Chain A
Amino acid sequence: MPASRRLPAAGALLVLIGAAIAAVPALVSDFVLLQIVIKSLWLGIAGTSLAFLIGQAGLISLAQTAVFGASGYLMAILVLDHGLTIWAAVAAAVAAGPVAGLVIGAISRRSSDLYLMMLTLAIGVFTFFFAQQYQPITRGHTGFNGFDAPLLFGADLSERKPLFYVSAVAAVAVVALFRLVMRTPAGLAFRGLRDNRDRLQALGYSTSATTISAFAVSGFAAGVGGVISVWYNGAISPGSIDITRIIELLIVVTIGGTIRIEGAFLGALVVTLLRNYANDYTNRTETLVGAAFMAIVLLSRHGLLGILLNLKSLAPKALRFFRGQRMASEKEAVA
């Protein structure tokens, strides 16, 4: 009975999202579309992988850039060094995301909290150094340049509008996929892991298997983000996955908020806006990003999304408050 009601609602939502996506290129300048919107989309897609891990499974990972890099590098290597056709390389790169997630999950399956952060930080930094120093495979610190984004149904993805549409559809698909996963038995087990590891184990679940599974699922989004970033930049280098990128991803999801995975897009938008426009007013952009990060952490436990959701729940509360006042004054009048 809820399914039949949910279906038209989901259809309506898709139409609405589709219309919004179609309208964006007409509403913003070419510069904003490329520098802000598309960048926020792929950064946000990568961010959802971390937002999912933190918000759903309680696993704070600093190795999502490693997954991002694994997919991006794999695609570049397969096309530029091995002459594979682009879409085959894309498929391999997207598949590499969950596989890389699986490997990271397997390494850190017994860790949680601070130890998990340290372990995944080591993996993230290791991956960076591997990319920078293992020249025969990764071309060292220059990385891969001159990567041509593919054609899709005749549309060149190195152009703004087609790339925007593909990124937007990918973002919607990634969010939809995460939401589906959240409704599965595994999705419930992830939240169990987040709330109470020991109790989950006492119910018959292996916390190791649950951790590995969560990392694998999250790896998909990081992989997709990595692929689109290479189309966007036409390049990938160790700089794409260095320590500043690890921190950037953490800032993105913290600013956005992890209670909903969609918060990552909000965070990505804020970070991208600050990076682009703060330059006009100050040359201390990074200080500003840091200040915004601290302000939001101090103001809201759940980032910007938390503030927005609070506003949403405040409105009916305020309404009730005023209604209550009126009723009280009416009662007084009666008395």
Chain B
Amino acid sequence: MKTTGTGQQTKATLLPLRVEKVSRSFGGLQAVDQVSFTLSVGERLAILGPNGAGKSTLFNLVCGDLAADSGRCYLRGEDVTGLPLHHRVRRGLARTYQTSSVFAGLTVGEHLMLAHRGPEKGRLSLWTRRAIQSQAADQARNLAEQVGLEGRFGVQGSELSHGELRQLEVAMALAAEPFIILLDEPAAGLSPAERERLTALLLSLQTSVAVVLVEHDMDVALTVADRVIVLESGRLIAEGSPEEIEADPLVRAVYLGEQHGQPQESAS
């Protein structure tokens, strides 16, 4: 792996993500315009912005689902700008989808095994090594328990409820043991109780994992995030702690003011 800067850094201390002046336009629309930000080890970053601000586009540029027109993207110091999603996943990035996207015919356990092997070399192995297999199965079982899917381990994807699908999305991202997780509106369509549970889960994540969160739900976003960046019309207009962002008059004008009549309570 290519390292930039000091050669003595170990993998675990390298900057998980560095985005440099990425831009992307669709036809005449500049969806993301020269956005730069970094993410340090274990940091929780929320990307906020009104509808159409370019959050999802930025998200897809970072994970490789979209190609950037210009700018660069580094994972742990390695330039991954031209790499497609599955190659970034193999390097330790995991993402979830805003609309749950699962495998109808696979059980919850199989989803987690599949996700767990994704970054590994043996993902298409035609040989089953029992020890590794049972270890992966145990890990999958623990993970199912962790996200609240215990007792649903053998249930097929097509039989899960909306809330369970959201939990499975997060569990699949965790199963790959990534160093950076990108969550695309994980709380979309959840009930208040389910939101609380999700928030607790996100707060309980190991600090070795960095999290990027695109979230409409302010409670979830501001509770979980250490740092917030705010986009508007594709440009980064503010950056800071959740408290600073909430207090920022510009941000309140473009975003918070529209969404909520009054300032939100923040748990942190």
Report which A residues bind B (CB closer than 8 A): 3, 181, 183-186, 188-189, 191-192, 194-196, 198-206, 209-210, 213, 217
Query: 3 closest A-B pairs (Cβ-Cβ)?
Result: A204-B118, A204-B89, A195-B103
CB neighbors of A among B153-210 (8 A): 157, 172, 176
Q: How far is the CA of A196 from the CA of B158 in the complex (A)?
A: 12
Interface status of B146 (Cβ within 8 A of chain A):
no
Q: Within the complex, what minimum Cβ distance (angstroms) separates B50 from chain A?
A: 27
Consensus secondary structure, chain A interface: helix
Complexed CA–CA distance, A210 and B65 (Å): 19
CA distance A210 to B118 in the complex (A): 12
Contact (Cβ within 8 A) A209 B157: no
Cβ of A195 and Cβ of B126 under 8 Å apart?
Answer: no
Quick one: closest A residue to B172, CB to CB? A203
Q: CB < 8 Å: which of A181, A184, A203, A213 contacts B114?
A: A203
Q: Which of A184, A192, A195, A210 contacts B125 (CB 8 A)?
A: A184
Contact A204 B86 (CB under 8 A): yes
Q: Which of B101, B102, B123, B125 has the most CB of A within 10 A?
A: B123
Stretch at the interface among B10-18, B70-78, B105-113, B260-268: B105-113
Q: What are 13 sample pairs from A and B whose C-beta atoms fall under 8 A apart?
A: A3-B130, A184-B125, A185-B117, A189-B124, A195-B102, A195-B105, A196-B102, A199-B97, A202-B89, A202-B101, A204-B86, A210-B124, A217-B126
Interface residues of B in 20-74 (CB under 8 A from A): 65
Instruction: Enumerate chain A residues within 8 angstroms of B89, measured Cβ to Cβ.
Output: 202-204
Complex contact A205–B86 (CB within 8 A): yes
Give the contacting residue for B103; candidates A3, A192, A204, A209; CB below 8 A. A192
A189 and B114 within 8 A (CB): yes
| Beta-carbon nearest neighbor of A181 in chain B | B126
The CA-CA distance from A196 to B85 in the complex, in Å, is 15
Chain B residues with Cβ below 8 Å from A183 are: 128
Pair B123/A199 contact, Cβ less than 8 Å: no
How far is it, in angstroms, between the C-alpha of A205 and the C-alpha of B117 when the chains are bound?
9
